[in-house]
């Protein structure tokens, strides 16, 4: 019995001794993917770490975005090769910055202080798990590094399999965040020179050193929760948009939302989808909170709408220019902000009436969105709770017209008492036209011949909410007849890098998109833009 106990203890000591945290090679390459389950993000990457020469490179999405770090006696240099989207085309640009000298960053977790926890199979590989815990006043953080071993050479060479991080709110115990990195193709060898010699730093634009974390190749490796750039970006966000929170707890919760949105934005931008996202004033909001802005109610009954004139339907193609923008003719008013109010339908219809009035008189006036908010309840509009283009046109027709903002008053972002206006101060319409559904040519002709067109679109994808530039085409943007919940204004059309687009004016302020505008893909019925397009007649 005594002998058995000694054998057992010796085995236990051996097992504990053999399961030591891994030490990574000084030079290695590794591939893998970063997973953010809460945000439904999977970010593939390939990385090279050259400790001897103090160089790091990380490629995302098959090299769509390439990030570098070089360290020498004069400082630490960060470079990014990224796609750039703008109205003149899509190009790849290089931006860079320099910081005071520091050690080259590591890409794999430093497990020196991790403790052995257990052995189990991860992705079909027998792994040792090493972990640690961190607790502060707000949350508890648990990390686990899963390590496999290559024994083919007779040695026990560790290689990374997975790095898992889970955060819980300390007070409630609820899940705050969870993400993990899957690793593959870990190779320990010298890195070929050509890996780091694919661009000339002299060709790179220099950016502010305070934004170097955006350029750093390790901004999400090896531990996304420890990335200091999130703190910097959040503080920059709160300053830019003058955001104040009630207390530290609310600030923490908003920062968590911001972090998830920032991850999503970065992942989309690395995917080279033809459009770019950016942090804007929605970055600390949930999808449900942003959804308040989308209150253009679906309307099946457009029986009182006039038919699109045959003379336009039969218009010779040669009579229609390949591109057109009503802004260049001063027929479009300034971008406005509907605030936390579902009044998009009112902004879209008012924009269409302003355009029609310009075509008739050559004058651009600011008409009153607030009047539609206050006065069109009998036409089944509901102020900040939503409305329809049909209800808005019907009210303007029956009321005798719509007043100017100067005569009625400015937009308040909330419903108010309907104030009577003298008929002599109203801009009248005689009715409205609904375009044929799913007819790209009809929308193009209508924009050119009849001015800005009110359209209904789906804006539920997160990509729409953080759009900044490029031609937008997210397959998750719905195009079914009853799936549009937002109204906007189509003010032009054109072509960029061989791709046709609609020029859309939104009412989410000039912080959103291209100073309030979007280029929307015109190859199909993107976001349902062709379902319910209307314009007024005078």
Which are the catalytic amino acids?
A: 344, 486, 506
Which candidate, 41, 68, 42, 533, places its Cα nearest to that of 305?
533
Query: In three state form, how does the secondary structure of 457-485 look?
Result: ECCCCHHHHCEEEEEECCCCCCCCCCCCC
**C-alpha–C-alpha distance, residues 27 and 189, integer Å:** 6
Are the C-beta atoms of 58 and 149 separated by less than 8 Å? no
Are the C-beta atoms of 355 and 427 separated by less than 8 Å? no
Query: Cα angle vertex 366, ends 363, 371, to 5°?
Result: 135
Instruction: Give the pair of three-digit tokens for residue 482.
Output: 């009853």
Instruction: Give the pair of three-digit tokens for residue 171.
Output: 């007070």
**C-alpha–C-alpha distance, residues 223 and 138, integer Å:** 19
32: CB partners within 8 A, 6+ apart: 44, 45, 47, 181, 182, 183, 184
Identify the residue whose tokens are 């792994």.
Answer: 127
SS3 at position 75: strand
First to last CA, the chain: 103
In order of 337, 514, 529, the CA distances from 510 in angstroms are 8, 7, 21
Instruction: Give the pair of three-digit tokens for residue 75.
Output: 């400082």
Query: Cα angle vertex 225, ends 221, 230, to 5°?
Result: 90
**C-alpha–C-alpha distance, residues 520 and 504, integer Å:** 7
State phi, psi for 510 to the nearest 5 degrees.
-80, 5
SS3 at position 499: strand
């Amino acid at each position: 019995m005594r002998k058995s106990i000694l054998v057992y203890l010796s085995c236990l000591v051996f097992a504990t001794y053999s399961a030591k945290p891994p030490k990574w090679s000084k030079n290695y390459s590794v591939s893998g993917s970063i997973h953010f389950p809460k945000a439904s993000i999977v970010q593939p990457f390939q990385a090279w770490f050259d400790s001897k020469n103090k160089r790091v490179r990380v490629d995302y999405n098959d090299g769509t975005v390439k990030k570098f770090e070089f360290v020498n006696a004069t400082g630490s240099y960060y470079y990014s090769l990224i796609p750039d989207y703008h109205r003149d085309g899509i190009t790849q640009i290089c931006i860079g910055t320099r910081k005071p000298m520091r050690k080259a960053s590591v890409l794999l977790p430093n497990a020196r202080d991790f403790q052995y926890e257990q052995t189990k199979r991860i992705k079909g590989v027998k792994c040792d798990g090493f972990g640690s815990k961190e607790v502060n006043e707000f949350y508890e953080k648990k990390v686990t590094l899963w390590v496999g071993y290559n024994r083919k050479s007779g040695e026990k060479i560790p290689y990374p399999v997975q790095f898992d991080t889970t955060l819980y709110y300390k007070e409630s115990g609820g899940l705050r965040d969870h993400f993990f990195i899957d690793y593959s193709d870990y190779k320990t060898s010298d890195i070929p020179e050509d890996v780091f010699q694919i661009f000339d730093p002299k060709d790179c634009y220099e950016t502010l050193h305070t934004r170097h974390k955006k350029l750093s190749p390790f901004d999400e490796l090896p531990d996304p929760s420890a990335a200091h750039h999130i703190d910097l970006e959040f503080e920059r966000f709160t300053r830019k948009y003058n955001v104040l929170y009630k207390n530290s707890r609310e600030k923490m919760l908003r920062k968590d939302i911001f972090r998830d949105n920032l991850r999503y934005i970065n992942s989309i931008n690395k995917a080279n989808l033809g459009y770019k996202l950016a942090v804007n004033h929605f970055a600390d909001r949930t999808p449900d909170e942003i959804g308040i802005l989308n209150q253009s109610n679906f309307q099946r009954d457009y029986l009182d709408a006039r038919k699109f004139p045959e003379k336009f339907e039969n218009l010779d193609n040669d009579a229609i220019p390949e591109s057109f923008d009503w802004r260049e003719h001063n027929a479009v008013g300034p971008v406005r902000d509907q605030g936390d109010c579902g009044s998009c339908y009112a902004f879209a219809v008012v924009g269409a009436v302003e355009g029609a009035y310009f075509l008739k008189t050559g004058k651009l006036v600011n008409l009153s969105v607030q009047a539609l908010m206050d006065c069109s309840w009998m036409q089944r509009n509901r102020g900040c709770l939503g409305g329809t283009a049909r209800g808005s046109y019907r009210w303007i027709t029956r009321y005798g017209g719509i007043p100017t903002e100067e005569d009625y008053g400015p937009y308040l972002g909330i419903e108010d008492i309907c104030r009577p206006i003298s008929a002599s101060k109203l801009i009248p319409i005689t009715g409205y036209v609904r375009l044929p559904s799913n007819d790209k040519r009809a929308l193009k002709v209508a924009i050119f011949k009849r001015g800005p067109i009110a359209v209904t679109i789906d804006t539920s994808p997160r990509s729409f909410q953080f759009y900044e530039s490029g031609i937008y085409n997210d397959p998750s943007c719905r195009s079914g007849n009853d799936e549009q919940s937002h109204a906007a204004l189509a003010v032009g059309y054109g072509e960029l890098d061989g791709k046709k687009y609609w020029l859309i004016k939104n009412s989410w302020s000039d912080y959103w998109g291209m100073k309030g505008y979007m280029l929307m893909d015109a190859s199909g019925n993107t976001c349902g833009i062709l379902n319910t397009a209307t314009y007024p007649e005078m």
